[in-house]
Structure 1
Amino acid sequence: MTAPVRALTGALTGVLRELGALFSMALDVVVGMFRRPVQVREVVQQFWFIASVSILPAALVSIPFGAVITLQLGSLTAQIGADSFNGAASVLAVIQQASPIVTTLVVAGAGGSAICADLGSRTIREEIDAMRVLGVSPIHRLVVPRVVAAMAVAALLNGMVSVVGVCGGYVFTVVVQDGTPGAFLSSFSALAQLPDLWVGELKALVFGFLAGLVAAYRGLNPRGGPKGVGDVVNQSVVITFLLLFFVNFVISVVYLRIVPAKGA
C-alpha cells in the first residue's frame, strides 16, 4: 500500500471514528434530556448567556439579509413580469431558509464557541476527569443544559429574525423598488401557509441542537493544552457550519416533498 493510499485511509478512518463518537454523544444527550434531576438553573444561566451574546448580532444581520433576498428576488420577478409575487417569494425565502440559517450561524459563532472554550478549559484542567471519578456524568451535568439552552435560544431568535427580515424586505421593496404595499402583503397571504413557519422553527431547533452538540463534543476532546482549546473552538464553528447546510438541504427536500405548495 502506497503512502498516499495509507494517508487517505487513515484520514477516512479518523473521520468515521469522529462521526461515530459524535453520534454516540448525541444519543447520550437525547437520553439525558429526560433524566432526573433536571439542571434547571444551569439551563437558565446558559440560556441567558447565549441569548445575551446572540440577540443583537442576529437582529443586525437579519436586516441586510432580508433586504438582499428581497432585492434579488424583486429584480428576478420584474424580469419575468411577476412583480405581484415578490412579497410571497421573499417572505417564504426568509422564513423557510434564511432565518434559521442566520440564527444558527450567530448562535454557533457566538454561543457555541464560548461553550466549546469553556468545556475545553475544564477538560485541560482535568475538571471533567474529576467529575467522572466522583461519579458525576459530564454529559448530564454540563452538556445537556448547554444543548437545551442553544435549542431554546435558536428557536426564539428564529422568530425574531423572521419578523425583522420580513419587515426589512417589506421596507426595501416599497422604498427602493417602488413596490406596492398591498401587492406585497396580498401575495404573501395568498401563497404562504402555516407549515412554512413550522418548518423554519423545526430547522432552528435542529440547528441549535447541532450547534450545542458539536461545540460540547469538541470542547470535551481538546488536544495539546491551551493551544488545542483554541483549535477545537475553530473546528467546532467550521464543523457546525458544514453540518448546518447539509441538514438544511435534507430538511428542505423532505418538506417540499411532503407538504404541497398552497394552491397546488
Structure 2
Amino acid sequence: MTTPLTAARGAVSQFGQLFALGADVLVAMTKRPFQVREFVHQFWFVASVSILPAALVAIPFGAVITLQLGSLTSQLGAEAFNGAASVLAVIQQASPIVTTLVVAGAGGSAICAELGARTVREEIDAMEVLGVSPVHRLVVPRVLAATAVAVLLNGMVSFVGVTGGYVFNVLLQGGTPGAFLASFSSLAQLPDLWVGEIKAVAFGFLAGLVACYRGLHPRGGAKGVGDVVNQSVVITFLLLFFVNFVISVLYLRLVPAKGA
C-alpha cells in the first residue's frame, strides 16, 4: 500500500530526474553534430498537428476575454481602457498558455508515445549499448522543436486572439475602433510582448522536456506507454501554471508599468 510519505518521496525523486534531464539537454545542445534532420522532422510534425487547433482556440479565447473585460469596464465606466486590458491579457497571459496547452496536448503526447514505444522495444537500451546518447540523438531535437513551435505559434495566437477580440468588441459591444487601439497604444509597452515570448520559450521547453522524460520511463509495456502519455500532459499543465505564476510575478515586480 502506498503511503503519503512514499508518494511524496516518489514525486520528489521524479522531479529531480526531470531536472537532471533538463540539465543534460542543455549540455547536449552544445555538442556536435547537431541532429538537423531530426529537428526539422519533429518541428514540422509538431507544427502540423498544433497550428490549426491553436488558431481555432485563439479566436473564442480572445473574444471571451474581450467580452468579459468589456462588460466589467462598462460597469466601472472605464470603457476607454477596454482595448489595453484585453490586448495585454491576451498577449501576456492567454496566448502563451493556450499555445503551450495545444503543443503539449497534440505534439507532446505524440512525442511521449513515440519515445515510450521505443523504450518498451528496448531501442533506447540498444542505443546506449552502442555508445549513442539518447539525449543528444532523440531528446534534444524534440525539445528544441517543441520550443520553436511554441514561440512561433505564440505570435500567431496573439495576433488571432487580439484580432478576434477587436472584432467582437466592435460588433457586439458597440466599441469604437479608434478608442480600442488608442487605449492599447497608450498603456502597452514592448516588454509586454517580450514577456509573452519568454513565457512561450519556457513553456515550450517544459512541454518538450516533460514529454521526453515520461516517454523514456514507461512501465508495464503498452499499457504503461498509454499511462505516461496521460501523465505527461497532466504534469505539463500543472508545471505550466506554476511557472506562469512565477514569471508573471517577477515581471510585474521588475518591469514598471507604462506611465508609472
- When normalised by structure 2's length, the TM-score is 0.99
Could you tell me which of 113, 126, 131 is aligned with 1:130?
126
**Aligned mates of 1:53, 1:69 — CA distance in 2:** 25
Alpha-carbon distance in structure 2 between the residues aligned to 1:46 and 1:170: 34
The answer for the alignment partner of 2:254 in structure 1 is 258
Match of 2:23 in 1: 27
Cα distance in 2, alignment partners of residues 144 and 86 from structure 1:
42
Q: Distance in 2 between matches of 1:34 and 1:242?
A: 29
Q: Where do 1:50-69 residues align within 5 Å?
A: 50-69=46-65
1:68-120 deviation per Cα after TM superposition (whole angstroms, max 9, x unaligned): 00000000000100001000000000000000000000000000000000000
Shift of 1:34: 1.1
Q: Mapping of 1:75-224 within 5 angstroms?
A: 75-224=71-220
Counterparts of 2:28 and 2:168 in 1: how far apart (Å)?
A: 46
Structure 2: 5+ residue stretches without partners: none
Q: CA deviation at 1:8?
A: 1.3
* Per-residue deviation, 1:217: 0.2
- What is the match of residue 9 of structure 2? 13
SS in 1 for 2:132: coil
SS of 1:136's equivalent? coil
Post-superposition offset of 1:258: 0.5
Q: Which amino acid aligns with 1:118?
A: E
**1:232 corresponds to which residue?**
228
| TM-superposed deviation, 1:60 | 0.2
- List per-residue Cα deviations over 1:162-188 (Å, max 9, x = no partner): 000000000000000000000000000
Residue 211 of structure 1 deviates from its aligned partner by 0.3
Amino acid at match of 1:102: V
| Counterpart check, 1:44 vs 2:40 | yes
3-state SS in 2 of match to 1:36: coil
Unaligned regions of 5+ residues in structure 1, if any? none
Q: What's the CA shift string for 1:212-239, capped at 9, x where partnerless?
A: 0000000000000000000000000000
Equivalent-residue separation in structure 1 for 2:29 and 2:176 (angstroms)? 48
For the pair 1:73 / 2:69, whether they are aligned, the reply is yes
1-structure distance, mates of 2:257, 2:125: 52
In the aligned structure 2, how far is the partner of 1:33 from the partner of 1:13?
30
Q: How many residues are aligned here?
A: 260
Q: Which amino acid aligns with 1:106?
A: V
Matched residues in 1 for 2:4 and 2:119: separation?
30
Deviation of 1:51 after TM superposition, in Å, equals 0.2
Once the two structures are TM-superposed, the CA of residue 9 in structure 1 deviates from its matched residue by: 1.1
Q: How far apart, CA to CA, are the structure 1 residues paired with 2:27 and 2:197?
A: 22
Question: What's the RMSD between the two structures over aligned residues?
Answer: 0.8
Displacement of 1:33: 1.1
Secondary structure of the corresponding residue to residue 77 of structure 2 = coil
